[in-house]
Amino acid sequence: MSAPQKPQAGPDGGAPAAGVPERPLPVPDAATAPYWEAARAHRLVMPKCVDCGAFHFYPRTLCPHCSSARLEWTACSGRGEVYSFTVVHRAPSPAFAADVPYVVATVKLAEGPHLMTRITGCAPEAVRIGMAVRVAFIEASAEITLPVFAPAEEA
């Protein structure tokens, strides 16, 4: 399984193992904190416009479709499909070196928006565009939980 399941913090939320470089983690800001708070609670939320009803991602403070500032964090089903993917064989930095090969993908959510993520829970060579996936959550540190996606079980 790939990287986010080997969090830089120990399983008990303790200090990173000696010698393992820190991986870059999101630093939530005022506009994005609700997304990361929801992820910690194992919920996937997306900004949705109260006025035009459209979802968008990544989070903005104005709706990119109609410029309304009336946005609402809305729970998503967590279901989607692989829109594109790449198997990374050369880590961008030592922090990711233990993870290779790993799958970076964009997923098209059932609600419409696309997002970047990892595909976990299957061999990298098994990943296909169009594959049904559902969200899973990996505790990367005491503060940050990353949404990742795994193959959806058959309905």
Q: Which part of the chain contacts another protein (CB under 8 A), choosing from 11-19, 37-45, 71-79, 80-88?
A: 80-88
81 burial (CB, 10 Å; 0-12 / 13-18 / 19+) is: middle
Distance CA 46, CA 57 (A): 7
Is residue 78 left, alpha or beta, with left meaning phi > 0 and alpha meaning psi from -120 to 50?
left
In whole angstroms, the minimum distance from the beta carbon of 51 to another protein comes to 20
Cβ-based nearer residue to another protein, 100 or 155? 100
Q: Which of 1, 6, 37, 96 touches another protein by CB under 8 A?
A: 96
In whole angstroms, the minimum distance from the beta carbon of 23 to another protein comes to 7
CA distances from 100 to 50, 92, 123 (A): 42, 10, 12
The H-or-E segment that residue 69 falls in is none
> Applying CB under 8 A, does 146 fall inside the site for another protein?
yes
> Applying CB under 8 A, does 105 fall inside the site for another protein?
yes
In whole angstroms, the minimum distance from the beta carbon of 12 to another protein comes to 21
